[in-house]
Structure 1
């Protein structure tokens, strides 16, 4: 692991930047030790979303921003319903550049937030130190309701991890600027969250040959990407891909099957039969609706 200088402010600018980069690389590498826990977390997330449950991401400060980033991209990447992800950030999601530090100590709303969670739901709770009052109170409130908690902390023996059903320690090195957890700790958290949600998308069948086959093409760029996905999987022309997408109201998975020569109704029936997964539908003989 790279040694982070304590005198970064005395370094030449290029050396300071190099030290920052070394810190981020080391933080990403720290995630490797948590791979088994990340796999369990991804399975829990996939099960929650597949059964119609909701993910509640809860955190304060920089950890809250990492949670906000991951939660906000799930629907666009994997086509999950936006209502299936909630962000419970201490003090609320900032709409300007003001993010007061005292909100991480505020625990008065945690019980009310947990009370809105249903029996199919899961909480993902983050805290760099693992001692943030808001994060601890959220974990306790969710556990009190008997619901699963996935917890991420950057200290191996953190109290938050003791409250988790799935504990994910990310033991990052001291920050290049002490106390600024948006640096190494934030990097490790973002990497871990991205890996959890991406593997969950794969487990739900929303990735096929590295392609986002369940994306919601709600703009020009994404409609073009959906057409490219159809052509790459089936080998049809761009025009045929666009026709298949139009026939399915730009629903990418059934559009792939329609491009192989079956009707929209048969495509949807086939997907329903195979748990909305493309691969078995595309295997030899699977495209038959007999």
Structure 2
């Protein structure tokens, strides 16, 4: 496997001037990013399948061991603060269990029985999306977990850095990022790890885009849980509705911190109507504005306070 081989170009890396060594490692990171380009069609296909499967109750399940497992956990841990993805809809199946998130658990990656047990405990369904990551593509724990997950009908996505490996052949949606030899042989926390993190970012962010948790480049599902995030939420409301900061702050408070509801309140939509519109549009603000734009044409001949509010909302660019 290329990720385990010594690269002759860097055999004396430890004897190089530090400036040269760091420059070489930086160039390796750039090469890792470039390697993802060939996988973009596969990444897109996997993301579309994940979106179709998740519906309103499916889970995103990350699987991995060692470095790859910790990279996967990092991506999943960010879904709730960034997109308000429900905590119960993200799960981690990691060799060695929760203690392996921050500590290396020797031998855990070979424990196939533990992989099967963790998958069974997860009670997977066809609405779940299982994303398994392994640089080698052969890690017994990760391969076994992905294969077993497939037996439950879950969407299985395999990410590996070596071609023709068991993880890729076991996945419904294989993603190969061929990063090649590491500058430090076998240290897949470097090129392979960088590429894995980017691919995971692309998949999870792509899912959230498709689920309407982003509007015009903004994290409109974000929960304003501290002063910084509250200011960010108020700025989003003001930017989307073109209202003043004070009105944005009032609307956000009336909406109980829900940015999308606050946007509609700032535009003059009644809260009950705002919540109904969001439910009807599955929380997708772009769909809400498209619907309101259609309603504006219907209501022009019967002016009312509600019609005026919808007119303001419909004027927002969908």
TM over 0.5: yes
8 Å CA contact retained: 1:52, 1:84? yes
Q: CA deviation at 1:95?
A: 7.0
Candidates 152, 165, 183, aligned match of 2:172: 165
1:198 equivalent in alignment to 2:205: yes
Q: Provide the residue aligned with 1:69 in structure 2.
A: 74
**Normalization by structure 2: what TM-score?**
0.86
Candidates 273, 281, 286, aligned match of 1:274: 281
8 Å CA contact retained: 1:205, 1:277? yes
For structure 2, the residue ranges without an aligned partner over 5 or more in a row are 1-7, 297-305, 308-318
Separation in structure 1 between the aligned mates of residue 235 and residue 99 of structure 2, nearest angstrom: 36
Q: Provide the residue aligned with 2:124 in structure 1.
A: 118
Candidates 209, 213, 230, aligned match of 2:220: 213
The number of residues matched between the two structures is 288
Q: CA deviation at 1:216?
A: 1.5
Give the SS at the match of 1:152: strand
8 Å CA contact retained: 2:132, 2:158? yes
1:78 equivalent in alignment to 2:86: no
1:248 equivalent in alignment to 2:248: no
1:47 equivalent in alignment to 2:55: no
The 1:4–1:272 alpha-carbon spacing in structure 2 relative to 1, beyond 3 Å, is: farther
Separation in structure 1 between the aligned mates of residue 93 and residue 293 of structure 2, nearest angstrom: 47
Q: How does 1:178-189 map to 2 (within 5 A)?
A: 178-189=185-196
The 1:71–1:280 alpha-carbon spacing in structure 2 relative to 1, beyond 3 Å, is: same
The 1:95–1:186 alpha-carbon spacing in structure 2 relative to 1, beyond 3 Å, is: closer
Q: CA deviation at 1:17?
A: 0.5
For structure 1, the residue ranges without an aligned partner over 5 or more in a row are none
Separation in structure 1 between the aligned mates of residue 218 and residue 26 of structure 2, nearest angstrom: 30
Give the SS at the match of 1:172: coil
Q: Deviations over 1:43-90 (max 9, x none)?
A: 233234433111110100000111011100011111110110011111
39-48 vs 24-33, greater mean Cα deviation: 39-48
**Normalization by structure 1: what TM-score?**
0.94
For the pair shown, which has the larger CA radius of gyration, 1 or 2? 2
More helix by proportion, 1 or 2? Answer: 2
Q: CA deviation at 1:285?
A: 2.5
Separation in structure 2 between the aligned mates of residue 273 and residue 205 of structure 1, nearest angstrom: 13
Q: Provide the residue aligned with 1:142 in structure 2.
A: 149
Root-mean-square deviation (Å): 1.9
Q: How does 1:219-258 map to 2 (within 5 A)?
A: 219-258=226-265
Q: CA deviation at 1:102?
A: 1.3
